[in-house]
Amino acid sequence: MKTLKSLLVVLVILVNLIVAQPSWADKPKFTKNPDYIEVTQALNNLLTAKKAQAQADQVDTSTPEETQNKIAELEFQKYTLETGINWGQCQNQTGKTLAVYGPKPDFDDDDYNYPYDNALYFLANGQTTKNKWDCDGVYLPSEAKVAGINADQKEQQLTEPVAVKIVDGTQLVIKTNPETAAVEFSIPPAHIFKVGEANWFIPNVSQAVIDTRVANAPVAKISNVNPLVGMKNSAQQDTAKSQIAPKTQPQAESQQTSPKSSYLKKV
């Protein structure tokens, strides 16, 4: 009887091990990250072109120096992805609401199949998307004036809406040039998609429509976004205190003498 019970216990343990095995599966490797595959392929293409002293189609107009810069940038992106950072971050300094691409939403209706690879969210001015929340890129409406999305960094006027993609592991800062009113990008984008070129939702709406939307993108805490702000404010407070102190010093002296005069009156 004891032997039978022991066999049953062993059998139950084996069944649990077999059923629970998938939960012990390894985490997804960075080599399966689409961005990593794309960056690696682009890097290999450039290295092959450089070694053969012939440039690929996508860099026909590039000089050897530009090709080397692209290789260095791709190598750095590849290294960043190899460290395991599988999310990007976007910071809005445009002075307006910014439409950004992020993870697909979770719907309560299991019968609804979301048709796009990601979703549009709205990021308020001065905000940065939350850490580990993957910002895939930003949306630019038609007729927007932009700079920094091409290798030549020249300004251009868009004639149709586009989606600007960034690589995982990078932080994109988007701001408006106060002199030219052009939207500027801190880093060159990985891709620029037009309608139909990627499975991204690219509506044809104006910036005025975007400005009416409620900001719903998850954002980082202010203290985590720019710690220098707190240091600057603290320094300003110290300076203000030092400026106010001489004016308040006579009041402090009068307060120190008031107890003494009161004591003399009692005596």
pLDDT in tens, 209-250: 999 999 999 999 865 544 433 334 444 444 444 444 444 444
Q: Residues 154, 188: one domain?
A: yes
Q: Is the full-model pTM beyond 0.85?
A: no
- What share of the chain in percent tops pLDDT 90? 40
Per-residue b or e along 186-214, where b marks 16 or more CB atoms closer than 10 Å to that residue's CB: eebbbbbbeeeebebbbeeeebeebeeee
Is 27 in a helix, a strand, or coil?
Answer: coil
Low pLDDT (below 50) residues in the chain: 20-25, 55-56, 225-267
Question: Mind listing the pLDDT tens digit for each residue in 147-173?
Answer: 978 766 688 999 999 999 998 988 999
Residues 167 and 196 in one domain: yes
185 and 97 share a domain?
yes
Closest CA to 218 of 117, 122, 93: 122
Q: Based on the fold, state whether residues 80 and 94 are members of the same structural domain.
A: no
Sign of CA dihedral 75, 76, 82, 85: negative
Same-domain check for residues 111 and 153: yes
- The range of the structural domain enclosing residue 119 comes to 89-222
Beta-carbon contacts of residue 204 (< 8 Å; ≥ 6 apart): 141, 142, 160, 161, 195
**Residue 40 included in any domain:** yes
Tokens of 241: 């205190």
Task: Flag whether 172 is in a domain.
Answer: yes
Instruction: Choose among 128, 135, 137, 145: nearest CA to 188.
Output: 137
